[in-house]
Amino acid sequence: MKRDSNAYTFIFAAIMVLVVASALAIAATSLQPMQNENVRKEKMQNILMTIGIEVDREGAEEKFNEYIVEQIALTSEGEVDESVDAFKVDLAKELKKPVDQQRFPLYVAEVDSEKYYIIPLRGAGLWDAIWGYISLKDDINTIKGAVFDHKGETPGLGAEITQSWFEERFAEEKIMNDNGEFAGVSVVKGYSGGNAKDDNAVDAISGATITGDGVTDMISDRLRYYLPYLQKQNVEVALK
């Protein structure tokens, strides 16, 4: 058959597509379990990192089970939904649902008899999704630590939100303003507050304004749904 005939071209294209598609399908399905395992353990690592515990990927599961004492899924009203496994809640899917159908996963950790509440975050950066975890001390006001990650922010600019020097700026910040109202933590351009921890703001990254705004929005949008439940917990603790 001539190499330039239509029939040869069609047959070649068909065989090529078959070979390539099956090779990719085999590779993707056979590697899937390992990839999922990596993602699962990374999630545990990130959750632990917000409360200041750094573990490597292999040891993540063990430490996670040791420190995380409760995993609960909340409704938007702050009620606990027992039917949902909090760790398996996929925020990317939840965010597409109406608020009253969403479930809000919350992790409760205990380290040296200190209690921490770890809240998963998800929002939009400049190019794609950004997400992270933020942990609150049991005064439901002070941030213990934060971890951020992103899908496709620009390296050197927006992608710097994953760096520890940026994440460290959130430690000890307050999420309530002076009047006790929820204010979140804003990433501010031209920040002049130095290391002040009581102004609900941290310094932004040069060249990453939109990613920074994404972080601000993500914190205020997600945290507010947890407050009813967390404050209820806090009152109960105070009454004891």
Query: How far apart (Å, rounded) are the C-alpha atoms in residues 202 and 170?
Result: 7
Residue with tokens 């056979």: 30
Nearer CB in complex with another protein: 27/80 = 27
Which has the closest alpha carbon to 137: 176, 104, 169, 165? 176
What are residue 147's DSSP bridge partners? 133
Stretch that binds another protein, among 19-27, 82-90, 177-185, 228-236 (CB under 8 A): 19-27
Phi-psi label, residue 72: left if phi above 0, alpha if psi -120 to 50, beta otherwise: beta
Q: Residue 47 CB, nearest distance to another protein (Å)?
A: 17
Q: How many binding residues for another protein (CB under 8 A)? A: 33
Question: Is 92 a binder of another protein (CB under 8 A)?
Answer: no
> With binding defined as CB under 8 A, does residue 3 bind another protein?
yes
The reply to whether 56 sits near another protein by the rule CB under 8 A is no
Kindly state the smallest distance separating residue 148's Cβ from another protein, in Å. 13
- Only one of the segments 60-68, 85-93, 133-141, 146-154 lies at the binding site for another protein (rule: CB under 8 A); that segment is 146-154
Name the percent of the chain in helix, strand, coil, to the closest 5: 45, 20, 35
Query: Is residue 207 close enough to count as binding another protein by CB under 8 A?
Result: yes
Residue of 95, 108, 157, 227 that binds another protein (CB under 8 A): 157
- DSSP annotation of 209 reads H
Strand 201-203 vs strand 186-188: parallel, antiparallel, or unpaired?
A: parallel
CB of 209 to another protein, least distance (A): 12
- Residues between 108 and 127 that touch another protein (CB under 8 A): 127
Q: Is 237 in the site for another protein (CB under 8 A)?
A: no
H/E element, 16: helix 6-50
